Structure 1
Amino acid sequence: MVTASFTGFLKTIIILILVYYTLKYLLKLFAPVIIQQVVKKAEQSFYEQQQNVQQPRQQEFTNTSARPREKKKVGEYIDFEELE
């Protein structure tokens, strides 16, 4: 049977603390680069979405301006007067 020793416990705690501070340092070092890449990717996808929305609208305007729309003739306008 293996028993836990105090020195093994201290080694584990020290290793965990070193790993924590190493990851914290590396994250501070690389976070600006990672965030910049994420923002650039989001900006690019937003730009592409805007282009996809604007292209059909431009085609609609060119198609409608080429031919005038016909107005439906419903009938005469009748003005009703109220009777008292």
Structure 2
Amino acid sequence: MGLLKTILIILLFYYGFKILSRFFGPFILKYFTKKATERFGGQFRGFGNQQKQEQPKQQEGEISIDKMPENKSSNKTVGEYVDYEEID
């Protein structure tokens, strides 16, 4: 009798959770997406304002270079080339 009662409680809990998740699932999902949007929006909001303030107004077609890339020469002492043959 105890085993039957335990199985019945587990099934009741399982189906009750399924039914409640169908009703409250969309509300919970909307809540979490709204919170995530606020959190990510807050992180990037300051970044967008910072970039807009740093860039001076330029006319269309005008080119300006802020920083020249560093010339990186390849290091010849990294290793040696090993020739190989493919064996069938």
Q: TM-score, normalised by structure 1?
A: 0.59
* Pair 1:25 & 2:19 matched: yes
The percent of aligned pairs where both chains have the same amino acid is 36
- Listed one character per residue, the Cα deviations across residues 2-34 of structure 1 (whole Å, up to 9, x for unaligned) are xxxxx1111111111111111111111110000
Query: 1:59 corresponds to which letter in structure 2?
Result: Q
Where does the alignment leave 5 or more consecutive residues of structure 1 unmatched?
Answer: 1-6, 66-84
- Superposition pairs for residues 1-84 of structure 1, below 5 Å? 7-62=1-56
Q: CA RMSD in A?
A: 1.9
Stretches of 4+ moved more than 6 A in 1? none
- Segments of structure 2 that go 5 or more residues without pairing to the other structure are 59-88
| Cα distance in 1, alignment partners of residues 32 and 10 from structure 2 | 30
Deviation track 1:42-76 (CA, whole Å, cap 9, x = no partner) reads 221232222111121122124x88xxxxxxxxxxx
| Partner Cα distance (1:50, 1:15) in 2 | 48
- Hey, which of these two has a bigger chunk of helix by percent? 1
Partner amino acid, structure 2, of 1:56? Q
Aligned residues: 58
Distance in 1, matches of 2:44 and 2:21, equals 33
Q: Which moved more, 1:20-29 or 1:46-55?
A: 46-55
Q: Distance in 2 between matches of 1:46 and 1:16?
A: 39
Which has more radius of gyration?
1
